[in-house]
Amino acid sequence: MTAPRAPIELREFPRPDLPPGAALLRTSRSEVCGTDVHLWHGRLSGVPYPIIPGHVSAGVVDAARGPIHGLDGSTIREGDRVVFFDVHRTCGRCRACTVHRTPTRCSARRVYGITDSADEGLFGGWSQAIYLEPGVALARLPDAIAFDDYIGGGCGLLTAVHIVERAEIRLGDVVVVQGTGAVGLSAIALAKVAGASRIVAIGAPADRLALARDMGADVLLDLARTTSEERRQAVMDATFGEGADVVVEAAGAAAAVPEGLDLARVGGRYVIAGHYTDVGPTTINAHHQINRKHLEIRGCWGSEARHFLRGLSILERHPSIPFRTIGARTYGLHELNDALADAEAMRIPKALVDPWQTAA
Amino acid sequence: MTAPRAPIELREFPRPDLPPGAALLRTSRSEVCGTDVHLWHGRLSGVPYPIIPGHVSAGVVDAARGPIHGLDGSTIREGDRVVFFDVHRTCGRCRACTVHRTPTRCSARRVYGITDSADEGLFGGWSQAIYLEPGVALARLPDAIAFDDYIGGGCGLLTAVHIVERAEIRLGDVVVVQGTGAVGLSAIALAKVAGASRIVAIGAPADRLALARDMGADVLLDLARTTSEERRQAVMDATFGEGADVVVEAAGAAAAVPEGLDLARVGGRYVIAGHYTDVGPTTINAHHQINRKHLEIRGCWGSEARHFLRGLSILERHPSIPFRTIGARTYGLHELNDALADAEAMRIPKALVDPWQTAA
Amino acid sequence: MTAPRAPIELREFPRPDLPPGAALLRTSRSEVCGTDVHLWHGRLSGVPYPIIPGHVSAGVVDAARGPIHGLDGSTIREGDRVVFFDVHRTCGRCRACTVHRTPTRCSARRVYGITDSADEGLFGGWSQAIYLEPGVALARLPDAIAFDDYIGGGCGLLTAVHIVERAEIRLGDVVVVQGTGAVGLSAIALAKVAGASRIVAIGAPADRLALARDMGADVLLDLARTTSEERRQAVMDATFGEGADVVVEAAGAAAAVPEGLDLARVGGRYVIAGHYTDVGPTTINAHHQINRKHLEIRGCWGSEARHFLRGLSILERHPSIPFRTIGARTYGLHELNDALADAEAMRIPKALVDPWQTAA
Amino acid sequence: MTAPRAPIELREFPRPDLPPGAALLRTSRSEVCGTDVHLWHGRLSGVPYPIIPGHVSAGVVDAARGPIHGLDGSTIREGDRVVFFDVHRTCGRCRACTVHRTPTRCSARRVYGITDSADEGLFGGWSQAIYLEPGVALARLPDAIAFDDYIGGGCGLLTAVHIVERAEIRLGDVVVVQGTGAVGLSAIALAKVAGASRIVAIGAPADRLALARDMGADVLLDLARTTSEERRQAVMDATFGEGADVVVEAAGAAAAVPEGLDLARVGGRYVIAGHYTDVGPTTINAHHQINRKHLEIRGCWGSEARHFLRGLSILERHPSIPFRTIGARTYGLHELNDALADAEAMRIPKALVDPWQTAA
C-alpha cells in the first residue's frame, strides 16, 4: 500500500538477516480488517506509507535464530505453526506505560501492518514472509486450530476479549451487541462463552444475522426491518422492562450510541468499542441516559498481549464456534484490491489473505 | 408548597401520635437546595402536592417513644441533637433493591420533603417539627458540629460523598470539578480530603470561586472570563498535557459534558452527577471523547445511608472545612418565598431555613 | 428435628391462614445439605429447636392470597411450580444491611429451615407443605427444569454462583476447585460456564471425581491417591509453572488452605467458601503464601437473592449440566434419619427429600 | 557490602562513561532500610555480592548526556536535584509483565542497591556517586522538599503508597496499622491523607508510638503494655463493636496476622505488606477469620513507578507530615557498620546515609 486510495502494488523484498531471537515466518494467512480499509482511506494519521498491511497473521517458522520462547511457555522451532501479537513494541518507560498503565496509548507503540514503513522490512502480513523481530510476543498455534479459524477470529477476536474484560460480563448477564461485523460477531461468541444468559444481536443484513445466530445470539434484530423503538421494546421484553445488564457497541455508527444508552438497565454497563474512527457527532441526554441511570460507559481501545493469549485459549477450548465462517473468502496477492473493495462495501464480514495462493 | 409555582403557604398541623420507635423533632435547620427549586418548578414527576419541602434537616428530639438506635451506634434520647437520612423507605424486596443493588431506584423509595404529601404528616424540614417514623436512619450530631455546619453541607455533602466513592479518587489524583454550587463545592472539599494532589474548580461568579478556593480548590477557572479552550489548556498545563485523572460534573449544564470529556486523561474517569433534571441534549464525539480515550463515564444518582454516615464522620474529622459558608443566609418561615427566589436566581449557593426564626 | 443428635420426629401441623401476599406450597423436593448435618450435630448457635429443616426447596402453589409477584417478573398463581430464596428476612435497616452492604450478616436475618422454630409454622422443606410469608423472594420454575435438577443444584448451586462472582472468573482463567461435594461440583460447573479455560478438581473418592468430570472438570486429582506435592506439581504442569489464576476452597478441611495458597499463581485469587463450620486451626506462611505472592484471599459467606435468580437462569440456559446426578437418592419422610446418616458419612453427594414419597 | 555478615568495605570506583540518556548523580542522601539489614543477613537469595547497597537515594545531577526526560514531565539538567525509582529494569515481555501485569515479579527485574553487583558499576546509594542508566524513571525533587524529607519517607513511603492503593481506603474508613517501623509510619500518614476517619496504630516502643501520633494516628496501642485481647477490645470500642474497615500489616511478625484478622470487620480488607522475609508459620482459623467474615486479604509486594510519582506528589502536597523525623540519624560512609547495627537492633526507625559527611 503505497499511499491512501492508491492500488496495492506487489514488490519483492530481500530476505532479511536475523539477529539473535528473531525469526522469519512463511505467511499462511492474514486478513483484511476494518483498520485496513481505514488505512486505505487515509483516515489514520502518521502512517509511513508505503506499508505492508496485515496486522494479524499466522504462519510457519521458516528460520529462527537461537531459542525463542513463546508467551504460552513453548519453545519455538523451525517448522512450528505460530501466531503473534501485532503490537511489537511499547516503550515500557513513558507515563502511559508506567504511571497510567495504558500501554495501548504509548506514543512509541508499534504495530505490525500499520506503523512500520515497508522500507524498514517485512512488517506486515500481506506478504509471503514476515519478519518477527526479537521480543515479539508469539505462541504456537495448537494443532487443533486451523489457520482459517485463527484468522477468522483475527483482530476482531482480540478486541472482543478486551471488550468482555472491560464489560465485566458476569454469569447470567443479559448482553446486547450492536453490530454484526467481525468485532460484533466475536463479541457475541465470547459473551456466550463468558456465561451470558441471553444475547441480543442488532445488525444487518440477514446473512450477517444468521452468522450472529451461529456465533451464539439468542435474539436477532435486523436494523433494516425494525425501528429503534421496536428494538428498544424487544430488549425491554427480554429483560422485565429493565434493559440489558451489558450493552456492547461494535457498530461504529453515531446513531448506535444513544440507542445503546437506552438499551442498558439502570446501573448497567455500556462498552463503546466500535468507534475506531471518527464518524461524527452523537447527541445524547446526560440526565435520562447517564445520570439518572447511574450508568457506566467504558471506552475500549486496542488490546494487550494477555488478550492475544486468552483469545488463543478460547479457540482451543471452544472448537465448535464457527470463527472460520467470518472469513468469507480468501484472496491471493493479486486479488488484494478486490479484497479491499469487498471489505469497503461490507459485502463480506472479513476477507482473508493467502499470499501464496495463485490466481484462479 | 401547594402546587408548582404557587407561593409557599404556612399551615398548622396537629401534633402527631408516636408509635413505638418513632420520634418528633424540633427543627433547628433545614435547607433550600436545587431539588426544592425543581419541586417548585414542577419538574419532578409524581410529587403529591401539597408537600412540606426540606429533605435534609437537623433538630433536637422533642419526644421519642421507646429506645431508638442510631445508625452510628448511639441510643437516641429526648433532648439529643440529631440528624437523619432523608430516604426513609425502600422496599428491600424489589429487583432494584435485591438483584441489581440499586436501591436509589427502588420504586417504593420515599424521601422526606419530596415524596410524601403534607396530608400524611410532618415529612419535611420547612416545618417547626418533623415526624421521624420508626426505622428512619438517624444519628446524633456530634457536639463539635454546629447545625449550620451540617446543613451548610446538607444534601450536597451527601451527594459529594457518593461522587467521591463513584470516582474512586486515589491518593495523588488530579481532580477537576465542574460547577461551584452546593454539590460542586462539597465535591471540592471531599476530593481534597480523599487525597487529590491538585483540584481545579470551574465555575462562576467570582464569589463562588472564592468559596471554591476556601473549600480546597488549587486552580480556579471562571466560566465568565475564560473560553472552553482556555480552560482545556489550563487543565493540560496542570497535567503534563494529559488531562485530569478524574473529572466531576456538578454543573447541570449540557455544555459541561463535552467539555468535561475533553478534560479527562486517557484512561481517566468522568462522573456525571449534576444532571439531576433534564436540561436538554448534549453533543459528543464517541470516537475522540470515549472510545479512543479508553474513558470511563459513570452516572451518579442519589445516595445511600452509608454516604450519610460517612458525611457525618467527615464533618467531625475536618472541622476547618467551611461548610457553613455555603449556607449564605438563613430564612424564617415567612421568608421562604424569598429563599426560593434567591436560590432560583442563584444569588446564593444555598439558603438555610430556620422555621423558628422570627421576621426581622 | 427436636434437638441436636435426636432422631427426626414426624409431626402434624394445622393448615395456616394466609395473610395477603402469602402462599402455601405443596412441597415437591427439598434436600439434605451439609448445613443440615451441622444442624443435627448442634454446631450452629442460636437454632430454636424444634425446627423443620430443609432450607432450599421447590413445590407447587397450593393456595395463594392475592397477586404475588415473582422476583423473575412473573405473577405467581395457584398450580404454578415455584422456587424461593431461603433467606426470607433481613432488616434493611441495620449497619450490616445499609452501611456495609453485607446483608448476609444482618442480625435479623431469617432463613427457611434454620432460624425459625417449628412452633412458628411451616418454615422448612422437610414437610409436605411450606408457608411462604409475604415478601419471600420467589420465582416460577421454568417448565424445562425438573424439580430434581433444581434441588440437585440446590443450595450448593447458589453458593457456587456467589463463589464465581467473588472469584471474578475471567474468560480463559485456569481454575482449581478443592472439594467435590455439592458446593465443589457446582463450582466446577459454573467455572466452566463462566469461561474458564481449564478446570482442575481435587477430591475423593473416585465416583465423586467421575461426577466432577461430568460437571466439567478437565483434570482430576484424587486426594486418596496423590500427595499434596504431586497435586501441586500437576497444577504447575498445567499452568507454565505459575499456578492457577483462581483457586476455590470448597473442601471444608483445614489442610486445604495451605495447599490452596500454594496452587494459586502470583497475583491470583483464592476464594475460601468451604469453611462453613470451625474445623480447627490452619498453619500458613504469610511471607511465601500471601505477601510475596501479592495474592488475594476472599472469604465467601451466604448468598443473596441475585445469586438465587442467576442460578435459575443458569439451569435454564445449560440443561446439559447434570445437576440432578448430585442428588444421588431421594428419601421419604420416614427415611430422614437414614438420609442424615448417609449425608453425615458422605456416602452420597446429596440426599434429596420428597415428603410425599411413601416408604418402599 | 562484600558478603553477608561481613563488615562494609569502602572502595574507589572509576568515573563511568555516560552513554546517551545516562547521568551521573552526586549522592546527597541514601538510607538504610529493613531490606538492607536483610541483605546484610544474607536472607535474600541471588544477590551478587559485592554490592553497593542503598536502593532509594537522592542527589544532584553531576553530568548528564543528552536531554533526559523525567517521568514528571520535566527535562533534567546538570545541577538539578533529582530522585529516581529504584527498579531500573523490567523486561516488559515476560508473562509476569504482560499477561498477569505483575511487573514486581518479573524475573529480569533489577533494583538499585540490591540486584546489581558492584563490579557492574555504581548501582547503589551508599556511594558518593550513582550511575543512572538510560531509561531510569526519574523526577526533579521539588524545591520545597528537602533531601531529608524525601529519604525520611524513602522506600517506606513508596510501599505505603502501594498499600493504600491495595487497601482501597475510602473516605471515612477506620484503619488499623500494625507496626510502627518506617513502612507502618508512612502508612499511617497516607491513611490520613487518603481520608481515613480514624487511625489506630499498634507498635512499640513508646517513642515510635509518639512518632506514630505525629504521623497522624488517633489511637496508640503499645505492644509492650497491652495484651492482644486488650488491643482487640480497643479496636472494637472504636468501631461500634464491628472491627476496622481496613487493617494494614506492616509488622513483619507472625503473630500479627491472626491478630490483624480479628481486628477487621465483616466484609473488611486486610493488607499484608510487612512479611518481606520469612519469619515462620502463622496459625489462623479459616472459618472464624476468613470465611464467616467474608474478608478480603491482599498481599502487597514491591512497588511500581506510579507509586514513586504519587509519593513525590504527596510530599509536595503535605509538607507538614514529619517524614524527616523517621530518619533519626544520618551516617557517613565510615559509620555504615554502625548504621547497620543500629537498624538491626531497631534502635532507630531509619538510618540515613550521607556519603559526603565526614566523621565527627
Q: Tell how strand C219-222 and strand D219-222 pair up.
A: unpaired
As a whole number of angstroms, the distance between CA C89 and CA C106 comes to: 9
- CB distance A164–C171 less than 8 Å? yes
CB pairs under 8 A between A and D: 36
CB contact at 8 A, A109 and A103 = yes
Indicate the burial class of C128 (C-beta count within 10 angstroms; 0-12, 13-18, 19 or more): middle
Asked if the model's pLDDT at residue B273 lies above 90, the reply is yes
DSSP states of B178-231: E--SHHHHHHHHHHHHTT-SEEEEEE-SHHHHHHHHHHT-SEEEETTTS-HHHH
Per residue of chain D (360 residues), what is the pLDDT tens digit?
999 999 999 999 999 999 999 999 999 999 998 889 999 998 888 899 999 999 999 999 999 998 899 999 889 999 999 999 999 998 888 888 888 888 888 888 999 999 999 999 999 999 999 999 999 999 999 999 999 999 999 999 999 999 999 999 999 999 999 999 999 999 999 999 999 999 999 999 999 999 999 999 999 999 999 999 999 999 999 998 999 999 999 999 999 999 999 999 999 999 999 998 899 999 999 999 999 999 999 999 989 999 999 999 999 999 999 999 999 899 999 999 999 999 988 888 899 999 999 855
Strand segments (E) across chain D: 23-32, 58-64, 68-69, 75-76, 81-84, 87-89, 110-111, 129-132, 138-140, 174-178, 198-203, 219-222, 244-249, 264-272, 282-284, 296-299, 327-331, 350-353
**Single-letter code of the amino acid located at C49:** Y
Long-range CB contact pairs, D107-113, < 8 A, 24+: D111/D55, D111/D86, D111/D87, D112/D54, D112/D55, D112/D56, D112/D57, D112/D84, D112/D86, D112/D87, D112/D88, D113/D30, D113/D36, D113/D51, D113/D52, D113/D53, D113/D54, D113/D55, D113/D56, D113/D57, D113/D86
Tell me the C-alpha to C-alpha distance, in Å, between residue B87 and each of B47, B91, B103. Answer: 15, 11, 10
CB contact at 8 A, B37 and B344 = yes
Query: Chain D: residue nearest B167 by CA?
Result: D170
Neighbours of chain B (3+ CB pairs under 8 A): A, C, D
- CB distance D98–A137 less than 8 Å? yes
- CB distance A172–C72 less than 8 Å? no
Pull the grid cell for residue B322.
467551611
pLDDT at A61: 97
pLDDT band per the 50, 70, 90 thresholds, residue C178 = very high
Chain centre distance of CA D35? 9
Chain A residues close to C197, C-beta within 8 Å? 310, 313-314, 316-317
* D64 SS3 class: strand
As a whole number of angstroms, the distance between CA A30 and CA D257 comes to: 54
Q: From D199, D206, D283, select the one nearest D248 (Cα to Cα).
A: D199
Long-range CB contact pairs, B216-223, < 8 A, 24+: B216/B188, B216/B189, B216/B191, B216/B192, B216/B321, B217/B177, B217/B188
Residue B253 touches chain A, beta carbons under 8 Å: no
pLDDT digits (tens, 9 = 90+) for A316-360: 999 999 999 999 899 999 999 999 999 988 888 899 999 999 855
CB contact at 8 A, A156 and A189 = no
pLDDT digits (tens, 9 = 90+) for C200-224: 999 999 999 999 999 999 999 999 9
Chain B residues close to D190, C-beta within 8 Å? 171, 195
CB contact at 8 A, C90 and C108 = yes
Chain C residues close to D278, C-beta within 8 Å? 285, 287-288
Residue D253 touches chain C, beta carbons under 8 Å: no
pLDDT at C211: 96
The answer for D100, left when phi > 0, alpha when psi is -120 to 50, beta otherwise, is: alpha
Query: Chain C: residue nearest D173 by CA?
Result: C100
Min distance C309 CA to chain B CA atoms (Å): 8
CB contact at 8 A, A32 and A340 = yes
pLDDT digits (tens, 9 = 90+) for A34-88: 889 999 998 888 899 999 999 999 999 999 998 899 999 889 999 999 999 999 9
D4 upstream amide cis, omega within 30 of 0: no
As a whole number of angstroms, the distance between CA C301 and CA A50 comes to: 60
As a whole number of angstroms, the distance between CA B198 and CA B182 comes to: 20
Indicate the burial class of D320 (C-beta count within 10 angstroms; 0-12, 13-18, 19 or more): exposed
Chain A residues close to D306, C-beta within 8 Å? 98-101
pTM assigned to the model: 0.96
pLDDT band per the 50, 70, 90 thresholds, residue C355 = very high
- CB distance D135–A93 less than 8 Å? yes
* A249 SS3 class: strand
Between CA C258 and CA C267, with CA C264 as vertex, the angle to 5 degrees is 120
pLDDT at C359: 58
pLDDT at C103: 87
Q: From C144, C185, C141, C142, select the one nearest C163 (Cα to Cα).
A: C185
pLDDT at B359: 58
**Single-letter code of the amino acid located at D239:** T
Query: Chain C: residue nearest D244 by CA?
Result: C100
- CB distance C99–B135 less than 8 Å? no
Asked if the model's pLDDT at residue B43 lies above 90, the reply is no
**Average confidence (pLDDT) over B288-299:** 96
Helix (H) / strand (E) containing D193: helix D182-193
CB contact at 8 A, A278 and A288 = no
Query: Chain B: residue nearest D311 by CA?
Result: B172
Min distance D34 CA to chain B CA atoms (Å): 25
Which letter does DSSP use for residue B1 in this model? -
CB contact at 8 A, B147 and B220 = no
pLDDT at A71: 92
- CB distance B310–D172 less than 8 Å? yes
Cβ neighbours of D283 (radius 10 Å): 13
Q: Which of A170, A240, A313 sits opposite C165 (nearest CB)?
A: A170
Q: Note the helical H segments in B93-146.
A: 95-98
* A132 SS3 class: strand
Residue A244 touches chain C, beta carbons under 8 Å: no
- CB distance A313–C193 less than 8 Å? no
As a whole number of angstroms, the distance between CA C189 and CA C182 comes to: 11
As a whole number of angstroms, the distance between CA C199 and CA C211 comes to: 14
pLDDT digits (tens, 9 = 90+) for C103-147: 888 888 999 999 999 999 999 999 999 999 999 999 999 999 999
Torsion over CA: D299, D305, D309, D311 (sign): positive
Min distance A197 CA to chain B CA atoms (Å): 15
Contacts with C310 (C-beta within 8 Å, 6 or more apart), sequence order: A170, A171, A172, A197, C161
As a whole number of angstroms, the distance between CA B242 and CA D90 comes to: 25
As a whole number of angstroms, the distance between CA C309 and CA D303 comes to: 41
As a whole number of angstroms, the distance between CA A356 and CA B13 comes to: 90
Asked if the model's pLDDT at residue B360 lies above 60, the reply is no
Chain C residues close to B100, C-beta within 8 Å? 306
pLDDT digits (tens, 9 = 90+) for C17-52: 999 999 999 999 999 988 899 999 988 888 999 999
Between CA C266 and CA C273, with CA C267 as vertex, the angle to 5 degrees is 105
pLDDT at D359: 58
Q: Which of B72, B194, B240 sits opposite D171 (nearest CB)?
A: B194
pLDDT digits (tens, 9 = 90+) for A234-261: 999 999 899 999 999 999 999 999 999 9
Q: Which of A290, A294, A299 sits opposite B104 (nearest CB)?
A: A294
CB pairs under 8 A between A and B: 138
Min distance C172 CA to chain A CA atoms (Å): 5
pLDDT digits (tens, 9 = 90+) for B69-106: 999 988 999 999 999 999 999 888 888 888 888 888 88
Asked if the model's pLDDT at residue A106 lies above 70, the reply is yes
pLDDT digits (tens, 9 = 90+) for C254-271: 999 999 999 999 999 999
Torsion over CA: B226, B231, B233, B237 (sign): positive
Pull the grid cell for residue A15.
530476505
As a whole number of angstroms, the distance between CA D238 and CA D219 comes to: 9
pLDDT at D273: 97
Helix axes B305-317, B147-167, angle to 10 degrees: 120
As a whole number of angstroms, the distance between CA B308 and CA B319 comes to: 17
- CB distance C301–D287 less than 8 Å? no
Chain B residues close to A242, C-beta within 8 Å? 95, 100
Q: Tell how strand A138-140 and strand A81-84 pair up.
A: antiparallel
Asked if the model's pLDDT at residue C360 lies above 70, the reply is no
Q: What is the ipTM of this complex?
A: 0.94
